[in-house]
Amino acid sequence: DAGVTQSPTHLIKTRGQHVTLRCSPISGHKSVSWYQQVLGQGPQFIFQYYEKEERGRGNFPDRFSARQFPNYSSELNVNALLLGDSALYLCASSFRESYNEQFFGPGTRLTVL
Amino acid sequence: ELKVEQNPLFLSMQEGKNYTIYCNYSTTSDRLYWYRQDPGKSLESLFVLLSNGAVKQEGRLMASLDTKARLSTLHITAAVHDLSATYFCAEGGATNKLIFGTGTLLAVQP
């Protein structure tokens, strides 16, 4: 079975632009979470979606938004990009909404110039 | 504020030596995860510790959990170069939101 997949692998944007990152969970997994990992730090929780509903949001500005589709794939959108948004964005999937091990995708490396 | 602290932040070891990475967390969660991350790569799950006193071993790595002390340890036995990576612990409780530690960069020298 395929693991969690993410696209694109790398992305370069300029300040003020908008970006959309995509994630496909492991088949059968209904929960998708997004994390931001700035270089040299641990991942920070951004969002969790379960059954197409937002179940949790981390301490990120409203420029960050996400959604989950009927096939359980997910998009993370970031508007008005800042230099500080440069990071590795990780998607994780799990079968249940809570108390469940999460499996991480390869990540999308976003560079904002 | 929920916090997960790891120490040391950087660990340089010689091959064949033993060492322990410590993870302190601030919540009453009884669920603790350990991940490995190679440079530029994603997170690889190493251990899931689900209850007080849990101990798990895989190869040269052994993880344990003490929920009363809010402490988890990752013990490395007879280190080899292939273990060089960054190791993260993460606390996860009633939700799927993981709170990660600062990470420990492990460099095993021949």
| A5-51 residue pLDDT tens | 999 999 999 999 999 999 999 999 999 999 999 998 999 999 999 99
Q: CATH number, domain at A92? A: 2.60.40.10
Find the domain containing A34 and state its range: 5-112
CB contact under 8 A, B96 and A41: no
Q: Using alpha carbons only, give the angle A15, A17, A21 rounded to the nearest 5 degrees.
A: 115
| B31-55 residue pLDDT tens | 899 999 999 888 999 999 988 888 9
How many alpha carbons fall within 13 Å on the CB side of residue A21? 33
A70 preceded by cis ω (within 30°)?
Answer: no
Q: Do residues B53 and B70 touch, judged by C-beta distance below 8 A?
A: no
Best probe of the B interface among A37, A53, A54, by most B CBs < 10 A, is: A37
Q: Decide if pLDDT at B30 tops 90.
A: no
* Average pLDDT value over all residues in chain A: 94
Q: What letters, b where the CB count within 10 A reaches 16 and e where it falls short, cover B17-56?
A: eebebebbbeeebbbbbbbbbeeeebbeebbbbeeeebee
Q: Which residues neighbour B8 within 8 Å (Cβ) at sequence distance 6 or greater? A: B21, B104
pLDDT at B74: 97
Q: Decide if pLDDT at B29 tops 80.
A: no
Structural domain count, chain A: 1
Domains and CATH numbers, chain B: 4-109 (2.60.40.10)
Q: Taking an 8 Å Cβ-Cβ cutoff, which residues of chain A contact chain B? A: 31, 33, 35, 41-45, 48, 50, 55-56, 58, 90, 92, 94, 97-107, 109
